[in-house]
Structure 1
């Protein structure tokens, strides 16, 4: 765990923001850029303190592993992804975002990192659709004998949901109403 992250407990307090949160990472998910909005909402005093840190330092335990697995599989396939994400500030507060994450390329079109823009999410969608879905996915993940088995079963639940809806993941997110 990152030294920057510390041992903060969850507070249950939600933070809100208005501007676009921007960050960039390298191929390993280590932060190479963070805008002031990112640092303020995450509770990071100095950009230099977060550079080189793993982006998952703001991972909230209520975020299903299956969604991150889908995110990374999509990005490694050189595609963009939209996802609702609950993040954890360094002090234990949390905040919801609608993330748009894209691969970054060099001049030869090789993936060299990832760029994430996060905006204020639709609260009705978060409260009525995403929170219940994520609770179900987390319940599945916790019911299995290992984290890997839980993530795989939870991911299959997402795959089945998308197949039933006859939608890709991004289409599903937009069908909820952003």
Structure 2
């Protein structure tokens, strides 16, 4: 399902005491969204349950960041990331996401759980240009797979140059 919502360039904010929570199945379809998720995104619970979490993906978000995220959680690892989401009205909001896999009784990954907090504005000053660079790399390729590979390679090189893991990199900005 594609969403034909045009970004407005208006940013919306949420309270630092609020926590946006959602759960998805292995395909990324939303199985739970808390009240804060619905309030900030502008969707009702009925509108989001069963829908792909990508329904709130902002077009400025580089696919390489989501590849990194999916690679980690499918291996059963947690990950932290800054994410720019889009509301039903086309406004955007930034989050600092902590995504963890959920496990069944046999310890197999069966879904994902994400808690999102208000991000540090100073960190966004470093993240926004990085994401713009990665998105530009992706857009420069006519083949989406090649664009993703090039963008992911650049992101990996940036993290490697810092001599840290991605999580440490995220916490260092």
Normalization by structure 2: what TM-score?
Answer: 0.96
Match of 1:124 in 2: 122
Structure 1's unaligned 5+ residue stretches are: none
Match of 1:65 among 38, 59, 63: 63
Deviation at 1:108, TM superposition (A): 1.6
Runs of 4+ deviating beyond 2 Å: none
Pairing of 1:91-102 with structure 2 (within 5 A): 91-102=89-100
Match of 2:78 in 1: 80
In angstroms, what is the RMSD of aligned CA positions? 1.0
Specify the SS of the correspondent of 2:47.
helix
Match of 2:137 in 1: 140
Between 67-76 and 137-146, the greater mean CA deviation after superposition: 137-146
Normalization by structure 1: what TM-score?
Answer: 0.93
Distance 1:125 1:110 in 2: 34
- 1:80-103: per-residue Cα shift (whole Å, max 9, x none)? 000000000011000000000000
Deviation at 1:49, TM superposition (A): 2.2
Task: State the aligned residue count.
Answer: 171
Deviation at 1:37, TM superposition (A): 0.3
